[in-house]
Amino acid sequence: MPPLRRKVLRDLVRLWPQALAIALVLAAGVATMILGNGAFASLSDTRTRYYESYRFADVFADVTRAPLALLDDVRAIDGVLAAEARVVQLALLDLPSLQEPGAMLLVSLPENGAAGLNRLHLRQGRLADPGSSREVVLSEGFATAHGLRPGMTLALVLNGQRRELTVAGIALSPEFIYALGPGEMMPDPRRYGIGWLPRQALAAAYELDGAFSNLVVKLTPSASVDWVIEQVDRLTVPYGGTGATARADQTSHAFLDAELKQLGTMVKVLPPIFLLVAAMLVNMTLSRLVTLEREQIGLLKAIGYSSRAIAQHYVEFVLAIAVVGIAMGAVAGQWMGAELAHIYAQFFAFPFLVFSRDLGLFFLAALVTAGAAVSGALLSVRSVLLLAPAVAMTPPAPADYRSQGGSLWRKLGLRQTSVMTLRHLLHRPWRTLSGVLGMAMSVAILVASLWSFASIDRMIDISFFRAEQQDVQMVFGQPEPPRAAFAARAMPGVMAAEPFRAVAATISHRNVSRRVTVFGRPAMPQLSRVLDRDLRPMDMPEAGLILSEALAQGLGVRQGDTVTVAFLDGSRRTVNLPVSGLSVGYVGLGASMELGALHRATGGAEAISGVNLLIDENQAPAFFHAAAAAPETGFLSVMALTVAQFRATLAENITVMITVFVGLAGVIAVGVIYNFARISLSEQGREMASLRVLGFSKGEVAAILFLELAVIVVLAQPLGWLLGYAMARAMVAAFSSDLYRVPFIIGPGVHATASLVTCAAAVLSALAVRQRINRLDLIEVLKTRE
């Protein structure tokens, strides 16, 4: 082994704590790169393969009642590869374990068994017998929530008739990866599930013999989705079609797509931070190493080693640290990526997981990490190349501190130890700045992750308590006459009832359009309200629309502008309406009208889609019993349960992510402070030993170094808060979508928590260095170099 190569190994052994700290920061960068990219690729590949293997449809359409003969016309549309007519209806659950009635979306199975679109992946049991009217296949999430297995029975209320069905099997479907009940924000498998019944049995129960209520279409690769949707709408409008939608607007797919977008954002933000900090740490450590070995470098040059060979030696030292970091990061990233992908796979009900082990990703992570490490070493290596042998072998001139505020320190009355600290920090401004920036990055990561708690609380407060003040939202199975609101008001325990109507529509302005649900509300709503920017309830205008700020921004309209509204229900009228106001909202794209104005705009018969109810808590069981027996009831959304499910789901996901972020931020803080402290100790070891000889205690000597570290940590806090604020802003913008937006709120405790975590990591690093101060060999340190 060449002598310089042996020196690399000796240096690594001698400086192993500092090398390990740098390697850990590099490992964190590699891990986040592999973790994010691996999980993203795994989920994306899994979704793609799942969709392809189980023939997930490209176009979806609901109708009131259409003859089966219409299916031949749909199949004849240019670009249609396959089409399937189904019966899809809501049924109520009749389970003793549920006080609040739940619902099940029933979907007909194709008559030819496993063939067809949106095929089922059986987890247990078998498909229902096509000739049976008493068998059902259940979604796995619902079955798990209630402990149901094949052979057990389940009671449902189908079209007002109670039936006991036998569970034939348990399955998953690409159509319901993310199964949401009507009006719900989070899946609740305890109260909402999917059931698949033989077509003949389901059609007979809902009087749809020879007809269908839902259409799914698979397209050829070259087909125009928009054109096919236009043709499907043309065919289904006479039969109560509410407008076909593309896969991109299908609820399950849209939510999964939003999650993948968020994961992709994390991949772009975190790894560069770690690599930047690692580059600064490498530069600090190597600069100090070159300074300490100045005379050795001169000697090596004098005996014939070229500047290039010596520079290569230091690059090899850095690359050796990078290799260790890359190896640790690859292992950790692979493991964490697989665990994260498994969490997502369970949350989104995938039947299998295709975990990505792309060697190209590992190669890219290694290349970028090694590049970051070497770039951090370039400045130090350059100083090696410029040293002439005679100059290098001459001890460097002592530091001149006279120009660094000597008179100012005296005027401020600082102690001599404090003056020593400040002079040392100012003498190496780049190193000091690197330490401050590294610590600031640690603080910023925490601020950029902890902000979400206050934002989610704000989102819940506005969405569930200020805007929606009802206890229960009763969604009807189909539109009912307005008198249905009076029937609901007469139910036991109902203290107030407020009808609403929901109509699908396309709102457009110039060349931009959005498909939304327009809600009709009373003129002065009391239960389900829309709020202005000051969070005050808004009355419904006599004419015109109130749009959410997100929808207005997407359409490029302001209050007073006119938009074109094409209703997709009833007579499918198209009208021009003014934008009468803008509201605050964080879920979906909101559009509201006065109920009577909506009736007039649609041009159809007056109808309501459901009722918002205020319930006497003491009579809640009686109300739920009556609601379950009412034939109009399609789904009951209980506000308290919705909020609880929302909080529980977010708490589980956020806890995992926050734990990861805190760990990563701690790695940065420890790496920066420990390296900074070790370098300072090596530079001031002689001064500290002299102070010990002069009578200073170990604690007083250590306090000099601790004060230096404290200045770095304190200066890093406001910079970290500022960087964290910018990162959080960018994350909010990246996470926003048509499905939901997160308000940007940073609570007062965020900065304090972020600072406490980083300070705790700094204290641990300082204590580790304190042990080295206590073990200083005074005689050895004070020896004069020959």
- CA gap 196, 634 in Å, rounded: 17
Q: Over the chain, what is the mean pLDDT?
A: 81
Query: pLDDT, tens digit, for every residue of 297-320?
Result: 777 777 878 878 888 888 888 888
d(CA 545, CA 602): 13
Q: What is the pLDDT of residue 189?
A: 87
Q: Among residues of the chain, what percentage have pLDDT more than 70?
A: 87
CA distance 699 to 578: 74
Query: Is residue 690 exposed (0-12), middle (13-18) or buried (19+ Cβ within 10 Å)?
Result: middle
Q: Which residue has the tokens 């977010």?
A: 650
H helical segments located in 499-638: 549-555, 595-602, 620-629
> Regarding beta strands 608-615 and 562-567, do their DSSP bridges make them parallel or antiparallel, or are they unpaired?
unpaired
The residue type found at 137 is V
- Please tell me the distance from the alpha carbon of residue 116 to that of residue 120, in angstroms, as a whole number: 10
| Residue 482 φ then ψ, to 5° | -55, -25
Q: Is 258 exposed, middle or buried (0-12, 13-18, 19+ CB in 10 A)?
A: middle
Angle at which helices 639-693 and 429-460 cross, to 10°: 160
Q: Is residue 598 pLDDT above 50, yes or no? A: yes
- Residue in the structure block whose two tokens are 């009579």: 619
Beta bridge partners of 581: 546
pTM: 0.75
CA dihedral of residues 606, 610, 614, 620 (deg, nearest 10): 140
Q: Is a pLDDT exceeding 80 seen at residue 724?
A: yes
Q: Decide if 245 contacts 59 (C-beta within 8 A).
A: yes
Predicted local distance difference test score (pLDDT) of residue 512: 87
pLDDT at 374: 79
Tokens, residue 781: 């340190």
Q: How far is it, in rounded angstroms, from Cα 21 to Cα 23?
A: 5
At residue 108, does pLDDT exceed 70?
yes
**Does residue 215 have a pLDDT over 90?**
yes
**Which helix (H) or strand (E) segment is 281 a member of?**
helix 251-292
Look up tokens 């359009």; give the residue.
513
Amino acid at 773: I
pLDDT tens profile 451-483: 777 777 888 888 888 888 889 988 887 888 888
**Packing angle, helices 251-292 and 429-460, rounded to 10:** 160
Find out whether 24 and 325 touch, Cβ atoms under 8 Å.
Answer: yes
Main-chain phi, psi angles of 721, to 5 degrees: -60, -45
Alpha carbon distance 628, 634 (integer Å): 9
pLDDT digits (tens, 9 = 90+) for 742-754: 777 787 788 888 8
Q: How confident is the model at residue 786 (pLDDT cuts 50, 70, 90)?
A: very low
- Residue 509 pairs in a beta bridge with 512
144-178 tens-digit pLDDT: 988 899 999 998 888 878 889 999 999 999 999 88
Residue 626 scores a pLDDT above 50:
yes
Nearest-angstrom CA–CA distance, 197 and 109: 6
| Window from 45-59, 239-253, 652-666 with minimum mean pLDDT | 652-666
- Average pLDDT, stretch 691-695? 74
The DSSP letter of residue 86 is E
Q: Find out whether 724 and 448 touch, Cβ atoms under 8 Å.
A: yes
Q: What confidence tens digit (pLDDT) does each residue in 139-148 have?
A: 998 999 888 9
177, 194, 226: which is closest to 59 by C-alpha?
Answer: 226
First to last CA, the chain: 29
pLDDT > 80? residue 224: yes
DSSP assignment string, 88-156? EEEEEE--TT-SS--EEEEEEEPTTTT-SSS--EEEEE-PPPTT-SSEEEEEHHHHHHHT--TT-EEEE
Write down the residue that tokens 């006065």 correspond to.
594
Q: Which alpha helices (H) appear in 429-564, and where do they start and end? A: 429-460, 483-489, 549-555
Q: pLDDT tier at 521 (50, 70, 90 boundaries)?
A: very high
Distance, in Å, from the CA atom of 142 to the CA atom of 57, rounded to the nearest integer, reads: 23
**Does residue 31 carry a pLDDT above 50?**
yes
In angstroms, the CA 67 to CA 213 distance is 9
Lowest mean pLDDT among 315-324, 394-403, 704-713: 394-403
Main-chain dihedrals φ then ψ at residue 24, nearest 5 degrees: -65, -40
